[in-house]
Structures are given as C-alpha cells and as structure tokens.
Amino acid sequence: MVQWRAFTIRRINHGIASVSLQEPRLGGVFAILNLVYIFAVATLGLIIGSFLNVLILRLNTGRSVIKGRSQCFSCGHKLRWYELVPVVSFVLQHGRCRSCKSRISWQYLIIEISTSILFVLLAWRVFPLLYYPITALLIAILVYDLKHKIIPDVLVYIFIILAAISGQEWLTGFALFSFFVFLWFVSRGKWMGFGDAKLVLGIGFLLGPSLSASAMLIAFWSGALVGITLLFVSRGGVTMKSEIPFAPFLILGTLTSLLFQINIQLF
C-alpha cells in the first residue's frame, strides 16, 4: 500500500489529479485509477513495441515504415488485423503463421513485452513524457545493431535531438563524444564504431555526468562479461577479433542507470 500511496502522491504533484490524499475514503478510487493508468501504459508499450518491430524490419530496405501490410516471411500471406494484435496473436497462433504454420520469431514477442515493461517503469517512476519516445528509439537502435551491426543514422539523430531537448547536459555529451571518437580513431574503428560515438553524444546530453558514468560502467562491464563468456562458450566461433556490437551494452547501461537513477558520486 505504501507504494501505491507514494505513486498517487507523485501523480498528483504532476497535475493528473488535484484531490487531497489526506482524505482516506478516496484511497480506493486512486488505487483503481492507478491500475487503469498502468494498464493503459502497458498496452501502449505493446503497441509501440509492435511498431518498433516493423520499423526494425523495414528500415533501410526501401519499404515504407507506415504503409504496406505486414506479411509472413515464408508464404507471403498478408496478415489480417487479428493476426497483428501484440502478444495475443502470437499466443493464440502458438507462435506460427496461420496460413503455412512456419514459426514466427520470438524477437517480436520479446520486443513488444520489453517495450511494455520499460514504459510501465517510466510511468511508475513518473518520468517526463519525452522519455517514452527516447526509450522506444533506444530499443530500436539496440535490436538493429544486434542484427545488422550498424546504428541507423536516422534513429540516432532523432535520439540525439530528443536527448538534447530533454537533458541539456551539453558538456557531458561532448566529453563522451570526444572520448569515443578518440577510441574509434586510435583503434581505427576496431574497438568502437563511429555510430557508438554518436550514440554516446545523445546519452551524455540526456543523463549528465553522474548517471552517464554509471551507464558507461554498466556498459563496459556487461560488454566485457558477455565478450569473455562468448569467447569460452563458442569454442572458436567467436574470437578476440569478432566484432561484438557495443551499442546494445551502452543502451543497457543507459536504461538501467536512467530508470533506477543509479548515481555514482564522482564529483
């Protein structure tokens, strides 16, 4: 109950409701309002996640991101509206195409659910509205970089602009950018891509010095951990020379540091 109460009070501070919480009879009403609100945000997350799937799939392929119906990769069957309901369609169809029964990638489900969970966390901790599109962009960049080992310019530029408007931490942004450009230059693009430098420009703008520091620590440690694990597990499939994209770790660090406000007191 303490959680609900804290949440309700913060929501009121943000102007959603303006009734005094000291009135105990209203507690139940607010609990229900909170539930409805969280449910709505979770649903929005699923819908945006579903859109991100289409975006990741069609970006740089020449196909419109908005126009054109989705279809099955195996048989080309055009999906009807009831086959496009996030999560529900996947579960009802047992993760298979209704027409040819070939398997649908788990990636779609994972992205939808992750977006939903992150949106709920944003709502729960009452972050500014701009953080929703920022989070959505970061998810899209993460998955795209994992799949294609490149960060799409259009996504990272929009991210930089939104991050600059939202955080306005200019110094941190340019400091991180310079550092990553240095790493990129010294290693001739082997340690870092130039895309990573653009990404941290936005991350710095958004987070400022303290949260950025924890984001970078999480990114480097998790990156090193996964890199070393892959080195051992894959038995030759992955070598020291294999390029493991770094943006996913940067984004993992950023979202963790942001959502849980992990402050490292450096200054």
Give the binding site for Zn ion (CB under 5 A): 72, 74-75, 77, 97, 99-100
Nearer of residues 100 and 186 to Zn ion, judged by Cβ: 100
Nearer of residues 75 and 110 to Zn ion, judged by Cβ: 75
Residue 78: CB minimum distance to Zn ion, A: 10
CB 211 within 8 A of CB 262: yes
Tokens 């007191």 belong to: 265
Tokens of 47: 């819908």
Who contacts 32 (Cβ-Cβ below 8 Å, separation ≥6)? none
Residue 223: CB minimum distance to Zn ion, A: 37
Nearer of residues 72 and 136 to Zn ion, judged by Cβ: 72
Question: For the purposes of burial, counting CB atoms within 10 Å of the CB of 195, is it exposed (0-12), middle (13-18) or buried (19 or more)?
Answer: buried
Residue 73: CB minimum distance to Zn ion, A: 7
Residue 99: CB minimum distance to Zn ion, A: 4
Whole-angstrom distance, CA of residue 74 vs CA of residue 30 = 48
Nearer of residues 96 and 125 to Zn ion, judged by Cβ: 96
Q: Which amino acid is at 17?
A: A
Residue 106: CB minimum distance to Zn ion, A: 16
If we measure between CA atoms, which residue out of 111, 110, 57 comes closest to residue 79? 57
Nearer of residues 99 and 178 to Zn ion, judged by Cβ: 99
